Chain A
Amino acid sequence: MRPFIKYHPGRSFFHQLDPRAKIAFLLLFTMVIPFIRHIYIAVAMLLTVTALWCMARLPLRIMGDYLKMWGGLIAFLFVVQAILHPGEAVLINPLIPPSVPLIGGKGGITEEGILFAVLITARLLAIIPILPLVTMTTPIHLFVLGLVRLGLPYQLAYTVTTALNLIPTLQAEARVIMDAQRLRAFRAFERGNPIVRMKAYPLLVTPLVIGAMRRAQLIAIAMESRGFGAKEERTYIEDIAMKPSDWVFIGLTVAYCLIALLTNFLLY
């Protein structure tokens, strides 16, 4: 799997936006999407995020990787919502006879259940690429600067971005651990059924967590050894300035979110 979250250099309009404009987009879309109850609006927001991804000229295969990564969870949620969501228009009759106490009448699939499952899926698919869309188009030091200029203490801004930065490293380490296990004929992650895979996860997660803790400590030592936290304020060799295009982008994002919310409440 290709590394995600990591900055992907480019010269697209999204790359050139001020980090604050992108952070505003990130916050607004991430907050608004969970409130969307109408399937068409959720799909419209998913298409908007996908269009922005394409306009940022980020490789679509990375988005494909996301689908692969989240595919299991999304499929699980789809099935659960489709089965459990109450509805009138029955497509498949309940698997459990109504005479069974407590759970009787469950296990059927209704049209409303399917639509709700599609809504949940569209919302998830729209939310998942937002953070990588922002982090992959913003160098980490400018992302920090954006957070600082928005009023976040720089120590906290660095904590957030260092944690984000650790994700591709952990991804690479997970790959090394799995390769090492594969070399010793351990193939539970490739060939095992879900239960075998679940049982195998501690073998991957334990060294990964220990390695992550060690690495986090080394980064903390390296940062503190370079005077991190010595002063209340710090200077930055690069600065950021909002351009008219950034204000236009923020305005459009706010307007889009307001229209989405308004339409949602009118239609629902």
Chain B
Amino acid sequence: MATGEPYIILEDVSYRYPNANHYALEGVNLIIHRGEFVAILGEHAAGKSTLCQLLNGVIPNFQGGQMEGSVVIGGLNTREVSVAELAQKVGIVLQDPEAQLFTTKVINEVAFGPENLCLDVDEILERVSWALRAVRLRGLEERPPTSLSGGQKQRLAIAAVLAMRPEVLVLDEATSQLDPVGTSEVFSVVWELNQEYGMTVVMATHKSEEVAKFADRALILHQGRLIAQGTPQEVFEKAELLRRAGIRPPQVSQLANYLRGHSLLLSGFPITIEQARREIERLLEGG
């Protein structure tokens, strides 16, 4: 759960895209603490990407549109600083790995951000080395990004933002185009960054199994509104709310809800396979 002081503060934030009639986000109040791993869940067009882009200032500085309320990241109001300046506090990884890799070598891709900050070459190389080690891509420096697998490309995109040394890593459905192996690679790298380096992680995703396994807190967005938040356990227990929001809970949680529906009382509410195994064993032992 919350491990540090409040770092991201959204106060009554509403946002409407240019030429849109309805709000993509409406009345969102949210505090994210330093070092937290927060997952954002919601169906398509629930406002997940909008929320992610609010965190690094792409909205409203780049996208335009009408924004109300305030977003403060590490003491900086996103309206008052440019996206490029905010990049040193918040790094964002987008859904499509192809669209965010635009150089011909892995090393150049990771160095692109620090080069923009006009750092010394030694400092840049040190950051590149650290970022590639953190995402387990050392040794691939000279490879063209196009030759990497989907999971490797997305890890490279993460390394590219890590080299900016941001305090918050935002992933906007960064695993939605990956196979299970690629998804697992990305989640484990992100989790390591959160655990070992204390990096704050905000991740918009549909992968409820991974949310159950890794996240400290889950947020549920529905039609632009933040309708629930809590630990993954608390959130996945609310079957009716999840159904209304179009979110599929982890399969073990569905099983738990089924067992509860048939008066088979569980002592806890399992959201991972390990927890479910323990609960079922307990149930069987109890006769």
Pairwise interchain contact B121-A227, C-beta atoms closer than 8 A: no
Chain B residues lying within 8 Å of A229, measured Cβ to Cβ, are: 82, 84, 116
Pairwise interchain contact A139-B116, C-beta atoms closer than 8 A: no
Q: Chain B's nearest CB lies how many Å from the CB of A162?
A: 6
Pairwise interchain contact B116-A225, C-beta atoms closer than 8 A: no
Given contacts A224-B83, A231-B116, A235-B118, contact A7 B104 (CB under 8 A): yes
Render A65-90 as a binary contact track against B, CB cut-off 8 A, 1 for contact: 00000000000000000000000000
Pairwise interchain contact A219-B103, C-beta atoms closer than 8 A: no
- A169 to B161 CA separation, bound complex (whole angstroms): 23
Q: Which residue of A lies closest to B120 (CB)?
A: A235
Q: Chain A's nearest CB lies how many Å from the CB of B17?
A: 12
Pairwise interchain contact A237-B111, C-beta atoms closer than 8 A: yes
Given contacts A165-B102, A237-B108, A237-B115, contact A230 B85 (CB under 8 A): yes
Given contacts A221-B94, A226-B87, A231-B116, contact A139 B161 (CB under 8 A): no
B43 near A: Cβ within 8 Å?
no
Q: Chain A's nearest CB lies how many Å from the CB of B102?
A: 6
- A138 to B102 CA separation, bound complex (whole angstroms): 15
Contact of A226 among B98, B112, B125 (CB under 8 A): B112
Pairwise interchain contact B103-A140, C-beta atoms closer than 8 A: yes
Render B102-138 as a binary contact track against A, CB cut-off 8 A, 1 for contact: 1111011001111111111100110010000000000
Q: Chain B's nearest CB lies how many Å from the CB of A242?
A: 20
A228 near B: Cβ within 8 Å?
yes
Q: Which residue of A lies closest to B124 (CB)?
A: A237
Q: Which B75-113 residues sit within 8 Å CB-CB of chain A?
A: 82-85, 87-88, 91-92, 94, 96, 98-100, 102-105, 107-108, 111-113
B212 near A: Cβ within 8 Å?
no
A182 near B: Cβ within 8 Å?
no
- A124 to B101 CA separation, bound complex (whole angstroms): 34
Chain B residues lying within 8 Å of A224, measured Cβ to Cβ, are: 58, 62, 83-84, 87
Chain A residues lying within 8 Å of B105, measured Cβ to Cβ, are: 139, 141
Pairwise interchain contact B102-A227, C-beta atoms closer than 8 A: no
Q: Which residue of B lies closest to A3 (CB)?
A: B146
Chain A residues lying within 8 Å of B94, measured Cβ to Cβ, are: 218, 221-222
B160 near A: Cβ within 8 Å?
yes
- A228 to B87 CA separation, bound complex (whole angstroms): 9
Q: Chain A's nearest CB lies how many Å from the CB of B51?
A: 15
B164 near A: Cβ within 8 Å?
yes
Pairwise interchain contact B124-A230, C-beta atoms closer than 8 A: no
- A222 to B161 CA separation, bound complex (whole angstroms): 9
Q: Chain B's nearest CB lies how many Å from the CB of A215?
A: 6
Contact of B87 among A140, A218, A230, A238 (CB under 8 A): A230
B56 near A: Cβ within 8 Å?
yes
Given contacts A218-B94, A231-B118, contact A226 B164 (CB under 8 A): yes
Chain A residues lying within 8 Å of B92, measured Cβ to Cβ, are: 221, 225
Q: Which chain B residues have a beta carbon within 8 Å of chain A's beta carbons? A: 53, 56, 58, 62, 82-85, 87-88, 91-92, 94, 96, 98-100, 102-105, 107-108, 111-121, 124-125, 128, 157, 160-161, 164
